[in-house]
Structure 1
Amino acid sequence: MERPHLRCRYPMRMSPHYDEIGDGFHEWFLSYGPFGDQHRKARVRATDYPYLAAVCWPASDRRRLWDIAAMAGAFTERDGEYDAQRYGASQANLRASAADMRGHYTTVTEKRWGPLFTDIWHRFAEYVSAAQMARFAEVMATFLDGCIAYDQLLVAGDTFTCVEEYLAARYLPLGQLIDHVMIEISLGVDLADVLDEPAVRDVVRADVERVAVYQDILSLHKDLAEGEDAENIVLVIARADNCALPRAIAAARAIHNEKMARFDRLAERLGSTPLGREPDVARFVEGLRDFTAGLIQWTRHSARYTLAEASRWHIPSHQAV
């Protein structure tokens, strides 16, 4: 079966600092304990987290690009390990990691990944306010809480046969709220005072919902290869409708189109208000569009999802400045 593809309606931008950090970043990142295996080091290099950061958070300066690439890479690699140890086997490590985050890495109880996360945390803390770092820690810990809750559903033997129930269960363990804080950090803004405003909250939720759908569609090839048959919207649709994968993919695309349109409507509505015209809010909404353009591009071409030996990147002619 061919890999499903999606086109993005937004132009893709890219941080101009991508080429500056690649080799140095990988040498530093791969020096930590979890990456002792040479095969894994090669795979991480092929995955190319600096490229992910450059296209998903294109407003990043050099320092922020490095740190966001590190956080995104550490989360993705660690969660890949935990995902391979489901049905209760990873819950102790998830709880330990959540405790370390809520403690702002003053102590480390999860020993395998803790040292890397500690160093990344302190790098961010050098230029991000204490209040924003506290919010950052809480959304990361809440993500892990969501992973635990999702794993408990698997332990209980629950099988999703309803798309909306599946998407509701995926809301916290998707990790998109972490990405939202990193959008703020990449822009050098703090939106804590407006995130609870209904119009902003609606846009944020719509973004999380659309990412859940398109990420599942684009990762179907990888999920099938790894046997992750309990955690993809296409497979939920196939079970619910008792249909073949091509029909389920078409149905998932229709949901994707609806979720994308809903986000655009809500973002346009917010943009027509005084709140939405505030510069920091407008830049954040644009950052959400940048993130989607970048993540679709990265997921379509990253070796992590194509399962090829190397990634094939598109370098846009228009870079962020």
Structure 2
Amino acid sequence: MTPVLPVPRDLRLLPDPGHVLYRLPLRMSPHRQELERLILAWADRYGLVDGPRARQRLADTHLGELIARCYPHLRAERLAPLAGWFTWAFVIDDLYDGRECAKAARAAGHTRTTLRMLAALPMVPDGSSARGNRRTARARSMPPLAAELAEVWRGLAGRQSLQWQLRFIGHMGQFLDAFRYEAANRERRHVPALSGYTQLRRASGGITPSLDLLEYAAGQEVPALLHESEQLRTMVNKAADVVVWVNDVLSLRKELAVGEVTNGVLAVGRELGCGMQDAIDHVYRKVARDVAVFLRAEESLTALCGSWHGLGEADRAAVGTFTDGLKAWMRGNLEWGCNSRRYLEADTLRLTGRPALPGRGALPSRRPPV
């Protein structure tokens, strides 16, 4: 069991003013208020939060701001599925938050929960519309979180290629699997070794499917072959790392309040034998290096696209939009984290603590928000 130190009151959680993160562009979609409304509508329609206080906590999280900052090219007709996915992601994250919730979720069967969620993501033939699909008896019997995810998926998948769907489903499976890894650490009060933590953090943060959604939000898909290029893979990985490591710093007080130990600041402190402020400073130096690697890869990708005659103008435009989105995520996540009460208040109130949401539970017969 690894001891966890208390958080000093004078801890500096933000990067220094000259940090490279602040040189990334600030963006904001005009749809923030509508996104905030849709998030609460999804939660209300599927009964995803535990009463008025939890509903207010969801509102105070300002998820609409996060989406608006990180998806600057978001098209108006694509708001509802995106809001629904983030509602689902934050609710299921809170379900596994804290030692008591982790035990309850484990008792409900984590593997069964993962399979239920993935079953809500059937492949949709390329170019077909999923919006008109009828709800089958099986879909109506899903627990609320799986049913909400199924509705979200019907809005997402019909607009995306099969290659995108495969990539997204794979990232969703990794995200769900990571809860078991974090729960094991939490129950044993074990701060993970830095090497293993670094490898798994992208999956546990849910950032990989979030970055996939950049293409959905903008209505522009990057060619699948470019996703396999060394340059774009580097850019996606580094953008993901920046987001999750900054999140670890900003969420530190809140996570320690709920008994979370799978945090990069703690892993760095354990590895280097240093105090929390030194560990935070180390994290921000790592983030600066990651941004520099991202920018060099971007330059290389631009050169690659310029010499690749098989790419059309629409393909190049999609790459540019996706790159803008990756930068928006790195900067927007920092700005949102400074405003969200989810991190400003280190309390133990969660959106939900009911293992029936992903397991057994009655599904309200309601339409998704529009």
TM-score between both structures, scaled by the size of structure 1 = 0.84
Q: Encode CA deviations 1:263-282: one digit per residue, 9 max, x unaligned.
A: 22222222222259822122
| Alpha carbons of structure 1 residues 203 and 25: separation in structure 2 relative to 1, 3 Å | closer
Among 107, 114, 134, which residue is 1:98 paired with?
A: 114
CA contact (8 A) 1:88 1:152 kept: no
Q: What's the % identity of the aligned pairs? A: 25
Measure the CA separation in 2 of the matches of 1:186 and 1:93. 33
Question: Which residue among 217, 225, 248 is the counterpart of 1:186?
Answer: 217
CA contact (8 A) 2:102 2:183 kept: yes
> Which residue is equivalent to 2:235?
203
Which residue among 271, 281, 290 is the counterpart of 1:240? 271
What is the number of equivalent residue pairs in this alignment? 307
**How many Å apart are 1:178 and its aligned residue?**
0.3
> 1:261 aligns to what?
292
Structure 2 distance, partners of 1:131, 1:103, is: 18
Deviation string 1:64-114 (CA, Å, 9 cap, x unpaired) is 233212211210121111132576653455433432343345746862412
2:309 is the counterpart of 1:293: no
Residue segments in structure 1 that go unaligned for 5+ positions in a row: 310-321
1:105-158 deviation per Cα after TM superposition (whole angstroms, max 9, x unaligned): 574686241222122222224533455334322321222123334445666775
Please tell me whether the aligned partners of residues 75 and 217 of structure 2 are also in contact (alpha carbons under 8 angstroms): yes
- Structure 2, unaligned stretches of length 5 or more? 1-8, 16-20, 123-137, 348-370
What residue in structure 2 maps to residue 113 of structure 1?
145
Residue equivalent to 1:4: 13
**Within the alignment, does 1:281 sit opposite 2:281 as a pair?**
no
Query: Deviations along 1:154-185, whole A, 9 cap, x unmatched?
Result: 66775424x33321132321222101110111
Matched, 1:219 2:251: yes
Say if 1:183 and 1:287, in contact at 8 Å, map to a contact too.
yes
Mean Cα displacement is larger for which, 296-305 or 249-258?
249-258
Q: Which has the higher contact order (CA 8 A, sep 6+)?
A: 2
1:65 partnered with 2:79: yes
Moved more, 240-249 or 88-97: 88-97
- CA distance in 1 between counterparts of 2:109 and 2:56 reads 25
* Distance in 2 of aligned mates of 1:88 and 1:41: 23
Do the aligned residues in 1 keep the contact of 2:24 with 2:331 (CA within 8 Å)?
yes
Q: Cα–Cα, structure 1 residues 280 and 27, in superposed 2: closer, same or farther, change >3 Å?
A: closer
